[in-house]
């Protein structure tokens, strides 16, 4: 049985069920005879949909956490989920790895009393919450309240709530015929409300990445939603946590320049937060990677266009005031991240169909690999004319030579000993995109000598989902929360 409330910041009266929420753990003795300081330990469980599962298990079992938070979305995740739902009505609409992640972490979290916050709900948070209840029941964990935060999906009214596409200035109405989905970035407030109502697990749709990690801080410390000083610090810490292992040495190693121990054994980060927003970033002991000033600085500036004005739904974060200090092995203290008042609008990601891509590849190796690849490119260009390929964009790349730098590749670049030839075309229809694979297949016997051709075991065409941005007035978005019980 599920119950529903409408959430609005100016209307909700709080009469939360405080069962299991009065625990105040992880205190730090300041010095003998002084008051105890409250510390909240929050761990990361994922940084994107395809992230590893084992580090989440380590945090659940060995992290001694108050909260374990999962971030599993990229900008295109929900649009891709909408496309899949359109093709396959049986698709439940939540993270396809939800089962794997919950089976890995629920035993440790239940044993420790760790609460879980996750945006694995994608386009169907209710179904995700029900699935989590299924796994709780399988484990015999009764009496656990699971909250599903809805309201981020506004596909049916996005064109009425928005007016302009941020990337090109055109009216959002120009997307009418290609619109697939629209998701507004919610902030931390509905998660906080669910925690106040006694939820031990909160599953959401699109919520801004840092907000998932800041919500426990707001709840535990009683920070007000308009307290931009504390929320600036909290959201800044959330930004450091949201990319998981990137702050513990992942996506960091450059052998001989930036080395980290055991990069195959990376842990996800843990942040120990104090009531004033100061914190120490660390990780489970005995794991590889590193937490140091370099890893923290790289993540702090990751995807931040303006470090003085990092805009989130909850607050505008200012990283320029931050102070970092290495206080021990794999322990960095972070203080003085500041904030500015939140904006009157929320960002919306609008997914639209933009045609199809046909893609395939074949190979050459040994002396003369490059000249054979160059002739193969010429052959395909002419054959695409013969079959009248209608492509909005077409390219042939030589992996190992120019696939990344393209025309900027130095003319005197060393000739590779082996080359993969990748062929791709963007088309308006699937029928046109299919022509790419068909002509590449022909290279097996109608190409040139020593062509290495793989046997395709998957569809070589895919639908393109473009993502555009717009803004919606904050007051037009009113999330709702449904509750489920094991």
Through-space distance between the first and last CA atoms of the chain, rounded to whole angstroms: 10
CA angle 453, 458, 459 (to 5 degrees): 105
Q: Distance from CA of residue 111 to its chain's centroid?
A: 27
Residue-wise pLDDT for 143-182, tens only, equals 999 999 999 999 999 999 999 999 999 999 999 999 999 9
- What number is the average pLDDT over the span 459-476? 93
User: What is d(CA 347, CA 238) in angstroms, rounded to the nearest whole number?
Assistant: 18
Quick one: pLDDT at residue 119? Answer: 97
- What number is the average pLDDT over the span 363-385? 96
Could you tell me which of 222, 213, 312 has the C-alpha nearest to residue 272? Answer: 213
- Maximum mean pLDDT: which of 84-88, 131-135, 301-305: 131-135
Contact criterion met (CB below 8 Å) for 289 and 299: no
User: What is d(CA 12, CA 22) in angstroms, rounded to the nearest whole number?
Assistant: 21
Q: Where are the domains of the chain?
A: 3-151+186-343, 350-468
CA distances from 45 to 98, 102, 109, 118, 253 (A): 12, 10, 12, 9, 21
Residue-wise pLDDT for 72-126, tens only, equals 987 777 777 877 888 888 999 999 999 999 999 999 999 999 999 999 999 999 9
Quick one: pLDDT at residue 275? Answer: 97
User: What is d(CA 479, CA 151) in angstroms, rounded to the nearest whole number?
Assistant: 4
Q: Which helix (H) or strand (E) holds 59?
A: helix 54-62
Q: Which two tokens stand for residue 443?
A: 């290279």
Collapsing DSSP states into helix, strand and coil, what is residue 429?
Answer: coil
Contact criterion met (CB below 8 Å) for 214 and 231: yes
Instruction: Determine how β-strand 331-335 pairs with β-strand 418-427.
Output: unpaired
Q: Which one of 3.90.1150.10, 3.30.470.20, 3.30.70.2750, 3.40.50.2000 gives the CATH number of domain 350-468?
A: 3.30.70.2750
Could you tell me which of 121, 175, 192 has the C-alpha nearest to residue 348? Answer: 175
- What number is the average pLDDT over the span 383-412? 93
Rg (CA), the chain: 25
User: What is d(CA 374, CA 362) in angstroms, rounded to the nearest whole number?
Assistant: 12
- What number is the average pLDDT over the span 262-285? 97
CA angle 84, 87, 89 (to 5 degrees): 85
Residue-wise pLDDT for 32-87, tens only, equals 433 567 999 999 999 999 999 999 999 999 999 999 999 998 777 777 787 788 88
- What number is the average pLDDT over the span 374-395? 97
| Per-residue pLDDT at 409 exceeds 50 | yes
Q: Label residue 480 by pLDDT band (50, 70, 90).
A: very high
Contact criterion met (CB below 8 Å) for 349 and 182: yes
Phi, psi (degrees; rounded to nearest 5) at 293: -60, -35
Contact criterion met (CB below 8 Å) for 472 and 155: no
Q: Say which residues have a Cβ less than 8 Å from residue 16's Cβ, sequence separation at least 6.
A: 196, 197, 198
Q: Which helix (H) or strand (E) holds 340?
A: strand 338-340
Quick one: pLDDT at residue 403? Answer: 87
| pLDDT mean across residues, the chain | 91
Q: Say which residues have a Cβ less than 8 Å from residue 213's Cβ, sequence separation at least 6.
A: 42, 44, 69, 117, 234, 237, 238, 241, 242, 271
Q: Distance from CA of residue 295 to its chain's centroid?
A: 19
pTM, entire model:
0.89
Could you tell me which of 243, 429, 240, 252 has the C-alpha nearest to residue 322? Answer: 240
- What number is the average pLDDT over the span 252-277? 95
Q: Tokens 């938070």 belong to which residue? A: 69
Q: Say which residues have a Cβ less than 8 Å from residue 290's Cβ, sequence separation at least 6.
A: 248, 249, 252, 260, 261, 330
| Per-residue pLDDT at 471 exceeds 60 | yes
Collapsing DSSP states into helix, strand and coil, what is residue 77?
Answer: helix
Q: Which two tokens stand for residue 159?
A: 């064109």
Contact criterion met (CB below 8 Å) for 192 and 107: no
Q: Which two tokens stand for residue 81?
A: 């989920």
User: What is d(CA 416, CA 243) in angstroms, rounded to the nearest whole number?
Assistant: 35
User: What is d(CA 333, CA 237) in angstroms, rounded to the nearest whole number?
Assistant: 11
User: What is d(CA 391, CA 429) in angstroms, rounded to the nearest whole number?
Assistant: 9
> Longest Cα pair distance anywhere in the chain, in angstroms?
86
Instruction: Determine how β-strand 480-485 pairs with β-strand 3-6.
Output: antiparallel
Phi, psi (degrees; rounded to nearest 5) at 110: -65, -45
């Amino acid at each position: 049985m599920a119950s529903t409330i409408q959430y609005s910041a100016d209307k909700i009266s709080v009469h939360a069920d405080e069962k299991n929420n009065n625990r105040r753990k992880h205190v730090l003795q300041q010095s003998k005879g002084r008051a105890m300081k409250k510390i909240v330990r929050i761990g990361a469980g994922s940084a994107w949909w395809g992230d590893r599962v084992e580090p989440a298990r380590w945090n659940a079992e060995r992290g001694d956490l108050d909260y374990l938070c999962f971030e599993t979305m990229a900008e295109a995740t929900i649009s891709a989920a909408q496309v899949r739902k359109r093709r396959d009505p049986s698709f439940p609409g939540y993270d396809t790895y939800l089962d794997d992640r919950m089976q890995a972490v629920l035993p440790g979290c239940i044993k420790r009393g760790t609460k879980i916050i996750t945006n694995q709900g994608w386009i169907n948070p209710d179904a995700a919450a029900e699935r989590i209840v299924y796994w709780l029941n399988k484990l015999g964990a009764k009496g656990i309240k699971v909250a599903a935060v809805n309201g981020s999906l506004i596909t049916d009214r996005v064109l009425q709530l928005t007016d302009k596409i941020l990337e090109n200035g055109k009216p959002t109405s120009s997307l009418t015929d290609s619109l697939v989905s629209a998701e507004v970035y919610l902030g931390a407030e509905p998660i906080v409300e669910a925690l106040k109502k006694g939820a031990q697990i909160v599953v959401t749709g699109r919520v801004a990445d840092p907000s998932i990690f800041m919500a426990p801080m707001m709840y535990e410390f009683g920070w007000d939603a308009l307290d931009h000083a504390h929320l600036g610090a909290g959201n800044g810490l959330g930004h450091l946590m949201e990319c998981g292992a990137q702050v513990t040495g992942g996506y960091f190693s450059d052998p001989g320049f930036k080395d980290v121990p055991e990069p195959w054994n990376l842990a996800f980060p843990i942040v120990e937060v104090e009531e004033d927003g100061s914190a120490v970033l660390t990780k489970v002991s005995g794991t590889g990677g590193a937490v140091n000033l370099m890893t923290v600085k790289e993540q702090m500036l990751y995807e931040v266009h303006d470090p003085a004005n990092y805009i989130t739904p909850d607050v505008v974060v200012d990283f320029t005031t931050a102070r970092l200090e290495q206080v021990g092995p794999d322990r960095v203290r972070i203080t003085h991240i500041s904030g500015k008042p939140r904006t009157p609008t929320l960002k919306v990601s609008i997914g639209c169909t933009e045609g199809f891509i046909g893609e395939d590849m074949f190979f050459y190796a040994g002396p003369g690999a490059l000249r054979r690849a160059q002739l193969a490119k010429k052959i395909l260009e002419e054959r695409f004319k013969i079959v009248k390929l209608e492509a909005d964009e077409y390219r042939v790349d030589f992996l190992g030579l120019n696939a990344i730098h393209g025309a900027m590749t130095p003319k005197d670049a060393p000739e590779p000993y082996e080359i993969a030839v990748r062929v791709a075309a963007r088309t308006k229809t699937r029928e046109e995109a299919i022509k790419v694979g068909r002509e590449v297949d022909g290279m097996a016997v109608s190409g040139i000598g020593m062509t290495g051709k793989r046997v395709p075991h998957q569809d070589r065409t895919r639908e393109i989902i473009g993502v555009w941005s717009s803004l919606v007035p904050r007051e037009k978005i009113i999330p709702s929360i449904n509750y489920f019980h094991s």
